[in-house]
Chains A and B, each alone.
Chain A
Amino acid sequence: MSVRSKLLNPTAISAVSGSAVLVFLAVAGPALWGSAADTTDVSSRLLGASLAHPFGTDELGRDILARVLAAARLTLLLTLGATAIAVAGGIAFGLIASILPTHPRRWFTGLLDILLAFPWLLMVLFFTVIWGATATGAMLAIGFAGIPSFARLVYNLASSVSGRDYVRAARVVGVGPVGVLLRHVLPNIANPFFVNAAATASVTLLSFAGLSFLGLGVQAPEYDWGRMLQEGILRIYVNPLAAIGPGIAIVLAGLVFTLLSEAVAGVRGQGWRATAARAAGGLTLTSGRRPVVAPTVPAEDVVAEITGLRIAFATPEGGVVERVRGVDLRIGRGEVVGIVGESGSGKSLTAMALAGLLGADARVTVATHRFGDLDMSRPPTAADRARLGVELGMIFQDPLTSLNPALTIGRQLTEVPEVHMGMRPAEARARAADALASVGIPNAATRLRQYPHEFSGGMRQRAMIGMALTGRPRLIIADEPTTALDVTVQRQVMGVLRRAQEETGAAIVFISHDIALVSAFCDRVIVMKDGRMVESLSADRIREDASHPYTKALIACLPDMNSDRTLPLPVIPPELAPEALEEEVPA
Chain B
Amino acid sequence: MTTTPPLATAEVVDTSTATLAARAEERRLRRGLSPRTAFLLRRLGRLVISLAVVVVASFLLMYLVPGDPVRAALGQSATPQLVEATRAQLGLDRPMWEQFLRFVGGLFTGDLGTSVRLQRPVADVIAQRFPTTLLLAVLAFVIAVVGALPAGIGAAVLARGGRRRGLSVALSAVLGILIAVPSFLVAVGLISLFAVQLGWLPAAGWGKPADAVLPVIALAIGPMAYLVRIVQVEMLAVLDTTYMTTARAKRLPRRLIHLRHALPNIVTASLTVGGLILAGLTAATVLIETVFAIPGLGTIMVSSVGAKDYPMVQGVVIVYALIVLGVNLVVDVVLATIDPRSSITEG
Contacts and interface: CB of A to CB of B under 8 A. Distances in A.
Interface of A: 110-111, 114-115, 117-122, 125-126, 128-133, 202, 206, 209-210, 213-216, 229, 232-233, 236-237, 240, 243-244, 247, 250-251, 254-255, 258, 275, 279, 355, 357, 360-361, 380, 385-386, 388-389, 392-394, 396, 398, 401-408, 411-412, 415-416, 419-422, 431, 434-435, 437-442, 451, 453, 456-459, 464, 467, 469, 472, 485-486, 488-489, 492, 495-496, 499, 503
Nearest to B308: A129
How many of chain B's residues touch chain A, expressed as a range? 35 or more
Given A243-B192, A503-B8, A457 B16 contact: yes
Nearest to A114: B50
The 7 closest A-B pairs by CB, nearest first: A440-B12, A119-B283, A458-B16, A406-B264, A389-B251, A385-B251, A121-B283
Of B53, B242, B339, B341, chain A has the most CB atoms within 10 Å of the CB of B242
Contacts of B169: 275
Given A401-B241, A456-B22, A486-B17, A406 B340 contact: yes
B166 to A, nearest CB: 9
Interface of B: 1, 4, 6-12, 14-19, 22, 46, 49-50, 53-54, 57, 61, 64-66, 72, 160-162, 165, 169, 176, 180-182, 184-185, 188-189, 191-192, 195-197, 203, 241-243, 245-253, 256, 260-261, 264-265, 279-280, 282-284, 286-287, 290-291, 301-302, 305-306, 308, 310, 313, 317, 320-321, 324-325, 328, 339-341, 344
Given A247-B189, A255-B180, A438-B10, 12 more contacts: A119-B280, A126-B61, A129-B308, A209-B184, A236-B196, A258-B176, A396-B242, A401-B241, A407-B264, A437-B10, A438-B8, A456-B16
Contact of B242 (A402, A420, A441): A402
Contacts of B54: 118
B12 A244 contact: no
Given A114-B49, A419-B252, A499-B10, A236 B192 contact: yes
A459 B14 CA distance: 8
A503 B7 contact: yes
A236 B191 contact: yes
Interface of A, helix, strand, loop or mixed by DSSP: helix
A130 B1 contact: no
Nearest to A470: B7
A251 B290 contact: no
Given A118-B324, A133-B306, A396-B242, A442 B11 contact: yes
Contacts of A464: 246
Nearest to B67: A132
A453 B340 contact: yes
B189 A210 contact: no
B291 A233 contact: yes
Nearest to A488: B15
Contact of B14 (A213, A250, A456, A485): A456
B18 to A, nearest CB: 6
